[in-house]
Amino acid sequence: MSEHGAILRAISEPLRLEEIHLAPLAAGQVRVRIAASGVCHSDLSQATGVLPAGTPCVLGHEGAGIIEDVGSEVTHVKPGDHVAIAWIASCGRCWYCYRGELHLCRNAIRDVYSMPYATDTEGTPLFTSMGVSSFATATNCLARAVVKIDDDVPFDIAALVGCGVATGAGAALNTAPVEHGSAVAVIGLGGVGLAALMGARVRGAAELIAVDPVASRREIAIELGATHVIDPSTEDVVQQIKAITGRRGADYVFEAVGRAPTIETSFLATRPGGVTCVVGAASPTEKISLSANDLYIQGKTVVGCQYGSMVPGRDFPMLLNLWRSGALPLDKLITRRIGLGEVNSAFDDLMSGSGIRSVIVNDEVKAN
C-alpha cells in the first residue's frame, strides 16, 4: 500500500501532500495506521519557524490509530490494538524517568530523531515530527510512545489526548494542581487553554476566568463553565482579574498563548503566593521580563509546563475516563473534521482564530 504524508519542505512553505516510504520496522518500533490527527498550534509554529523543525519533515504530533505491525521486541501492543501516540517517548531508564518526570526524559528526543522513519519518493530521508508524524496515512514510531486505548473511544477524541488535552488538562491536574475553591484564570482559549479550563473545573475551581480576543472562543469557554470572560483587546486583563478576585489576583493563571507579553500579564494577574503556569510555547529566542522584587516579596511561583507533566501510560486512560464520565467534554474542542489534503486550511484557521481544533480524519480506517 502506498503511504502519504503532508511534508514541510521548507520553513514558511505550505505543506505538500506526497507519497512517502516508511522504513522497515526496527525491533523496538511499531507501525501505526493513523485514523485521526489534531492540528496543534505547535505544528503551525514549526511550519513558520517559531519553533525548531528539521526539513523536509512530516508534521503532526497529536495522533491516534491502529497498530498494523510491531517490531520483534514489542510485547505491550499487537496488531489491531487502538493507540494514542505520546510525543515524548520517554525511555523509562534515565535519571528523570526514574524520578517519575517522564516529560523531561533526556533520551526521548535523541531516540526518536535517530530511529528509522521514512524517505520521500526520491529516497531523501524525512525528519519525523517528535516521533509521531501523524499528518500521514501511517507512521513508524517507538513502541514506548504508544498507549493502548479502549476500542470504543473515537479516534478523534483519542488524538486530542495525545497533545492538546494532555498538555492543557495536565497543566491543571499535574503541573500546577488546582486546589478546590480556587480562582483560576486561563489566558488563550485554543485547544490547549480550553483543556486547562476543563482540568481546573475537574479540580473544583470556584472562579474560572477565561481570556481571549476571539469572541467565539470566549463563548465556548462559557459553555465549558467559565464564570467570567475578558476580551484583552478592549479590557485591561490584570485590572479585570484583580477586580474579580478581591483585588488579589488569581490563585492560578495558566498562559496558553506562547508569547512574552501574555506570560508577563499572567504573572501580574497572579495573586501573591499564587502560581503562574506557562503552557504556551514561545520561540526559543523570546525573553520575558518579570519584576525580581515582586517575585520574592509577593512569593509567587512561576512554573513551566512541558506536556502537562504527563505519564502517558497512567494519564491517557485517566483523561479518557474523565471524558467518558462527562467531566472533560472533549467533543466541544473539535470544530472541524478534514481530510489530509486540507491540512493547510487548518493552519489558516489557527491563524485567524476560526473554530477551536481541526482534526484530520482518515475515513478509510475502520475499527475492528
Rule CB under 6 A: choose which of 33, 82, 201, 217 binds ligand NAD. Answer: 217
Which of Zn ion, ligand NAD, none sits in contact with 350, Cβ below 5 to 8 A by type?
ligand NAD
Least Å from the CB of residue 2 to ligand NAD: 31
Please list every residue from 4 through 63 that binds Zn ion, using CB under 5 A.
40, 42
Contact 213/353 with Cβ under 8 angstroms? yes
Please list every residue from 77 through 96 that binds ligand NAD, using CB under 6 A.
none
If binding is defined by CB under 5 A, does position 338 make contact with Zn ion?
Answer: no
Least Å from the CB of residue 87 to Zn ion: 7
What is the distance between the alpha carbons of residues 7 and 96, in angstroms, rounded to a whole number?
33
C-alpha grid cell, residue 342: 486540507
Rule CB under 6 A: choose which of 63, 164, 199, 312 binds ligand NAD. Answer: 164
Least Å from the CB of residue 51 to Zn ion: 10
Which of ligand NAD, Zn ion, none sits in contact with 45, Cβ below 5 to 8 A by type?
ligand NAD
Least Å from the CB of residue 351 to Zn ion: 16
Buried b (16+ CB within 10 A) or exposed e, 288-300: eeeeeeeeeeeeb
Please list every residue from 88 through 117 that binds Zn ion, using CB under 5 A.
90-91, 94, 97, 105, 107
Q: Read out DSSP for 190-244?
A: SHHHHHHHHHHHHTT-SEEEEE-S-HHHHHHHHHTT-SEEE-TTTS-HHHHHHHH
Least Å from the CB of residue 206 to ligand NAD: 22
Q: If DSSP codes are grouped into helix, strand and coil, which group holds residue 293?
A: helix
What is the distance between the alpha carbons of residues 56 and 195, in angstroms, rounded to a whole number?
31
If binding is defined by CB under 6 A, does position 346 make contact with ligand NAD?
Answer: no
Least Å from the CB of residue 127 to ligand NAD: 18
Of 29 and 265, CB closest to ligand NAD: 265
Q: Is the dihedral of CA 341, 343, 344, 349 positive or negative?
A: positive
What is the distance between the alpha carbons of residues 96 and 103, in angstroms, rounded to a whole number?
8
If binding is defined by CB under 6 A, does position 42 make contact with ligand NAD?
Answer: yes
Least Å from the CB of residue 84 to ligand NAD: 15
For residue 354, the one-letter residue type is: S
Rule CB under 6 A: choose which of 130, 143, 211, 220 binds ligand NAD. Answer: 211
Q: Which residues lie closer than 8 Å to 157 by C-beta, 6 or more apart?
A: 320, 323, 330, 331, 334
Residue given cell 475499527 in the structure block: 367
Which of ligand NAD, Zn ion, none sits in contact with 189, Cβ below 5 to 8 A by type?
ligand NAD
Least Å from the CB of residue 38 to ligand NAD: 8
If binding is defined by CB under 5 A, does position 333 make contact with Zn ion?
Answer: no
Contact 280/256 with Cβ under 8 angstroms? yes
Q: Which residues lie closer than 8 Å to 243 by C-beta, 6 or more apart?
A: none
Candidates 347, 343, 346; CA nearest to 34 is 343
Which of ligand NAD, Zn ion, none sits in contact with 230, Cβ below 5 to 8 A by type?
none
Which of Zn ion, ligand NAD, none sits in contact with 232, Cβ below 5 to 8 A by type?
ligand NAD
| H or E element that contains 70 | strand 63-70
Query: What residues make contact with ligand NAD under the rule CB under 6 A?
Result: 40-42, 45, 163-164, 167, 187-193, 211-214, 217, 232, 256-258, 262, 279-281, 305-307, 350, 353
